[in-house]
Amino acid sequence: MTVRAALGHNPWLVRPLPGRGELIAGITLHSTRSGNASDDEYDDGPGTERWGMHPDNGSAAQGWGTFWDRLIWRDGTRLICTDVDREFASWTAGFGNVGPPTAWALGHYYVQIELSQSRPDQPFSDASIEELAKETGELSRRYDFPIVRIPFVTQQENPKPRGITTHEGSANGVKLGKSDPGDLFPWATFIEKAQAYKSEGDPMSEDKIRSTILDWSQSDDFGEAVIAAISTRGFKTTTERLNYAIVIRERVDAAIARLMQAGSSTELADVETTLAAINTVLDGLANRETP
Ligand SMILES: [Zn+2]
């Protein structure tokens, strides 16, 4: 199934929050609820993605509009819309009736996930629940929260409860009269699948980094060279090697661009870090000796 970055968003819809990755306590489930459904198969996903780029969605003067960290379409397309480690969406869900410093904002501490559902009575698609379970499994590994339903958050708890919250089950949702994701959300299926995806793999091992680089490099020669560049920091630089390193660098850059495009949520940051390290090594190599 397609996992990719969102096509874009109004600049005021995403704000920096350095260190957010350390704050993450779980996820919040939402449904899109545009009300546009003409039939049960109507997919709210594409229109919701466009809403993120629509000039009427908030304003720079206001400093916010409606946005989300992840958007999952009815057909299972999964969009990565913020960098959860350092940004938040302003807003999917903020405060309840009480503001700071007594209360905290839902959208700071929980990854905000929108599921395609146009009306409260539209059934969720199997494909969207499957992708939600994958995303949840990945996020719960990365941010170390349990896959358990939290019925309600007053948004005044400290520490923040770790697990799965919902918009309807939050002070913010009550304030705004929200009912998402609602009665049709298949809790038992979702929890079971998400737990299965969570236990499927551990955080990226060296073997996995290696196989990932080989996969993305599209050629074993390139992949092996990149891996060698990581492990062999002080190797003797020859012209041939240096030229090769420069070629590799361009391809590493291209690989990063492809990665950003693909936007695999959990592993993206790990691989980005790895590739950034490769780039640093190769930069050093390119600067040290000139042919
Ligand atoms: Zn919501």
pLDDT at 220: 65
Under a CB-based contact definition with an 8 Å cutoff, are residues 25 and 162 in contact? yes
Cα-to-centroid distance, 228 and ligand 1 (Å): 47
Cα-to-centroid distance, 32 and ligand 1 (Å): 7
194 and 212 co-located in one domain: no
103 and 191 co-located in one domain: yes
Percent of the chain with pLDDT over 90: 56
Percent of the chain with pLDDT over 70: 68
Amino acid, single-letter form, for residue 73: W
Q: Is residue 217 part of a domain?
A: yes
Cα-to-centroid distance, 237 and ligand 1 (Å): 56
**How many whole angstroms separate alpha carbon 181 and alpha carbon 185?**
6
237 and 182 co-located in one domain: no
Cα-to-centroid distance, 141 and ligand 1 (Å): 24
Which tokens belong to 174? Answer: 């009550």
- Give the model's confidence band at 197: pLDDT under 50 very low, under 70 low, under 90 confident, else very high: confident
- Give the model's confidence band at 131: pLDDT under 50 very low, under 70 low, under 90 confident, else very high: very high
Q: Which residues surround ligand 1, an ion (CB under 5 A)?
A: 30, 167, 180
Cα-to-centroid distance, 92 and ligand 1 (Å): 6
Cα-to-centroid distance, 66 and ligand 1 (Å): 10
Cα-to-centroid distance, 167 and ligand 1 (Å): 5
237 and 132 co-located in one domain: no
- Strand (E) positions, the chain? 3-5, 14-16, 26-31, 70-72, 78-80, 87-89, 110-115, 163-166
Cα-to-centroid distance, 107 and ligand 1 (Å): 11
Q: Which domain holds residue 211?
A: 206-285
Domain boundary among 183, 200, 217: 200
Domain count, the chain: 2
* pLDDT above 80 (res 198): yes
- Give the model's confidence band at 199: pLDDT under 50 very low, under 70 low, under 90 confident, else very high: confident
The lowest-confidence range among 30-39, 125-134, 170-179, 260-269 is 260-269
Cα-to-centroid distance, 113 and ligand 1 (Å): 9
Cα-to-centroid distance, 137 and ligand 1 (Å): 21
Cα-to-centroid distance, 181 and ligand 1 (Å): 7
Domain boundary among 200, 232, 258: 200
16 and 113 co-located in one domain: yes
How many CB atoms are closer than 10 A to CB 15? 16
Amino acid, single-letter form, for residue 139: L
* pLDDT above 90 (res 240): no
Q: Is residue 290 part of a domain?
A: no
**How many whole angstroms separate alpha carbon 57 and alpha carbon 61?**
12
pLDDT at 173: 98
29 and 102 co-located in one domain: yes
Task: Find the mean pLDDT for residues 271-279.
Answer: 63
Q: Which of 34, 17, 18, 33 is nearest to 94 (CA)?
A: 17
Domain CATH number, residue 83: 3.40.80.10
Cα-to-centroid distance, 251 and ligand 1 (Å): 40
97 and 195 co-located in one domain: yes
Cα-to-centroid distance, 69 and ligand 1 (Å): 12
Q: How far is CA 135 from the centre of its chain?
A: 8
pLDDT digits (tens, 9 = 90+) for 55-113: 999 999 999 999 999 999 999 999 989 888 889 999 999 999 999 999 999 999 999 99
Cα-to-centroid distance, 83 and ligand 1 (Å): 20
Q: Is residue 132 part of a domain?
A: yes
Cα-to-centroid distance, 112 and ligand 1 (Å): 9
pLDDT digits (tens, 9 = 90+) for 200-235: 754 445 565 566 566 655 566 666 666 665 554 333
Strands 14-16 and 110-115: what pairing? unpaired
Q: Is residue 291 part of a domain?
A: no
Q: Is residue 173 part of a domain?
A: yes
3-state secondary structure of 170: strand
Cα-to-centroid distance, 183 and ligand 1 (Å): 14
Cα-to-centroid distance, 179 and ligand 1 (Å): 8
**Torsional class of 185: left (φ above 0), alpha (ψ -120 to 50), beta (otherwise):** beta
What is the rounded average pLDDT for all residues in the chain?
Answer: 82
pLDDT at 138: 82
* pLDDT above 80 (res 288): no
